[in-house]
Amino acid sequence: NAGVTQTPKFRVLKTGQSMTLLCAQDMNHEYMYWYRQDPGMGLRLIHYSVGEGTTAKGEVPDGYNVSRLKKQNFLLGLESAAPSQTSVYFCASSYLDRITFFGQGTRLTVV
């Protein structure tokens, strides 16, 4: 049972480049989330999804887009990366019991 899997684990982008972070969960969870984690700022919710085909904005959605075409996948896109998006990104999922499972994280550096 893999749980929540994120790819890639590390990435360096140049300012203005685009990329997509992939998240897959094999627990049949309805809810999925993308967070960013920055020193001293804890976890901040970027976007989330309450089911296949649905997405919603979190606390810090600007500069990011998401898609949930399949229940098990939740993609996070950066259309034009900026240095302020340098962060560690975590995907997470949960079911009705509200217990949230996290992926291993993606460390993104934008130069």
Partner 1 sequence: AQSVSQHNHHVILSEAASLELGCNYSYGGTVNLFWYVQYPGQHLQLLLKYFSGDPLVKGIKGFEAEFIKSKFSFNLRKPSVQWSDTAEYFCAVTPTYAGNNRKLIWGLGTSLAVNP
List residues binding partner 1 (CB under 8 A).
Answer: 31, 33, 40-45, 48, 50, 56, 58, 90, 92, 94, 98-105
Shortest Å distance, C-beta 63 to partner 1: 20
Pairwise CA distance, residues 110 & 50, whole Å: 30
Nearer to partner 1, 9 or 70 (CB): 9
Shortest Å distance, C-beta 80 to partner 1: 27
